[in-house]
Amino acid sequence: MPEQSVLNLFDPVPAHTSERLGNQRVRVAVLVSGNGSNLQSIIDHIEAGKLNASIACVISNREDAFALERAKKHQLPAFYLNHRSFPDRMSFDAAVLEIVREHAVELVVLAGFNRILSTVLLDAFPLAILNIHPALLPAFPGNQAQRLALQHGVKIAGCTVHFVDSGTDTGPIIAQAAVPVLDNDTEETLSRRILREEHRIYPGVLRLFTEGRIRVEGRRVFISPGEQDSNDFLECPRF
């Protein structure tokens, strides 16, 4: 990870707000590599009329990702790009960017996408790429977050939605939800408990984005007040 880009996060940067004009649906690209349960929760929220967004395209770097089946089932434009057939990270990202541009995407959502992004995508979508991570960042970045949480014996685990920067799960944090770690937890039971929260907070954050209520100052993210109850998802369920 280039040192400079990490340092940049701490530099004063102009406040940025996800402002939107009018009431059009925000066009979202969802990047996936696996099961796609977060993709499904976003689809469900859109179809239930709880999210003023449309999924413009779904892109997977794995041909066998079940997320692609989910996309097809809901008649969403779905693409498979094999990262191994590109000489480097930047050329793969350029191919992703081409699809994203062709679909007039405004917000890129990583949902279980197992690739680190290069400047090609990061520069094209400043503060408009989100990720969800199954840990309370900055604890346990990278893969195996749930396994590491169990190995460290933490009592509280959870998930984090954050902006994506050039590091691994290092971008400014937008929302988090906590879950207890139980004595008899396995990686699987803990992951399931965390996923339930992911499915709640990711669409919630997308909604904030569509409503232009996310403001970023350096590393800190501020949510402006919305209608009654619209911040409910930010509150942690009681253990």
Binder among 93, 197, 198, 211 for ligand GRF (CB under 6 A): 198
Task: Pick the closest to residue 26 from 46, 8, 11, 6 (CA basis).
Answer: 46
Reduced to 3 states, what is the DSSP secondary structure of residue 127? coil
Q: Is 51 in the site for ligand GRF (CB under 6 A)?
A: no
CB 33 within 8 A of CB 114: yes
**Which range of residues in 14-22, 72-80, 85-93, 128-136 is near ligand GRF by CB under 6 A?**
128-136
- Tokens 């770690």 locate to 181
| Dihedral over Cα of 225, 164, 25, 71: its sign | negative
Shortest gap between Cβ of 133 and ligand GRF (angstroms)?
5
Looking only at the bridges linking them, the beta strands covering 173-180 and 156-163 are antiparallel
As beta bridge partners, residue 161 has 132, 175
| Closest distance to ligand GRF from the beta carbon of 58 (Å) | 12
Q: Which residues pair with 132 in a beta bridge?
A: 161
- Shortest Å distance, C-beta 228 to ligand GRF: 29
35 near ligand GRF, judged by CB under 6 A: yes
The CA distance from 193 to 179, in Å, is 7
Stretch that binds ligand GRF, among 6-14, 16-24, 34-42, 52-60 (CB under 6 A): 34-42
Q: Which CB, 101 or 152, lies closer to ligand GRF?
A: 152
Of residues 105-124, which lie at the interface with ligand GRF (CB under 6 A)?
A: 111-112
Q: Would you please indicate which residues are annotated as catalytic (active-site) residues? A: 133
Q: Residue type for 140, please?
A: F
Q: Which residue number has the CB closest to ligand GRF?
A: 112
Closest distance between ligand GRF and the C-beta of residue 163, in Å? 14
Q: Is 38 in the site for ligand GRF (CB under 6 A)?
A: yes
Torsions phi, psi for 48 (to 5 deg)? -85, 0
Residues that bind ligand GRF (CB under 6 A): 34-38, 67, 111-112, 132-134, 159, 195, 198
